Amino acid sequence: MQIKGSVALVTGANRGLGKAFTEALLARGAAKVYAGTRSASSAMAPEGGDTRLVPVQLDVTSAADISTVATRCSDVTLLINNAGILLASPMTKTDSDAAMRREMEVNVYGLLGMTKAFAPILGKNGGGAIVNMLSVVSWFTVPLTATYCASKHAALVVSDATRIELRRQKTQVVGVYAGYIDTDMAAAIDQPKTPPRQIADRALDGVEKRQDHVHADARAEEVWRTTRENPEQLAKLQQLAWETRPK
């Protein structure tokens, strides 16, 4: 599908990567962009204003919000599941179960709820596409953020299964993978980070090229190669990261 003339809905659209997605969509000529945020008033138009940007109140953990938005936004042809949360919890931490439940609610059940609500809409509107913002940790585990990694592993399965199930109705499902992105979520991490606009642009390129998987930065390309070509080395690096963690 082409981004120009599309009607898109972006979750978690008020800042960071979500805002970059809305700006990239508008720049490419989307006819309308629904900006989903927990508070609709926080989704502001780019400088100068743009009437194509339509704020909608959307908490992806709320079944009521999802149902309301699906009814209101029945013209959507492109769904971008961007909303996410990272709580940076090792698996054996005392409150890791609570952290993982919260991350799963947003990163997995929120993504699934949006997909189930909008799959019939996309089918009715000709097929369209779903973009799921995943991560390089959909492929391996970082010990210090293990519960987040678990949620992204699960989100990858949701994406792959959805792609198989919706192929017959001609709905494209794109998984987007990246390392650290220069947003609030990674603000405390002292590692090279990718500008969010690059991630958004590569994801939208993937939609137009009908790619199932988009490696949106150099980190994603590197990790993908390593997980396939040298998994033993990756396992050693994971163990080293845990053994040398700040105490």
Sequence ranges of the domains in the chain = 7-243
Q: Across the chain, what does the average pLDDT equal?
A: 92
Structure confidence by residue, pLDDT tens digits, 3-61: 999 999 999 999 999 999 999 999 999 999 999 998 866 555 544 578 999 999 999 99
Structure confidence by residue, pLDDT tens digits, 124-177: 999 999 999 999 999 999 999 999 999 999 999 999 999 999 999 999 999 999
Q: How far apart are CA 68 and CA 30, in angstroms?
A: 22
The pTM of the full predicted model, rounded to 2 decimals, is 0.91
* CATH no., domain 7-243: 3.40.50.720
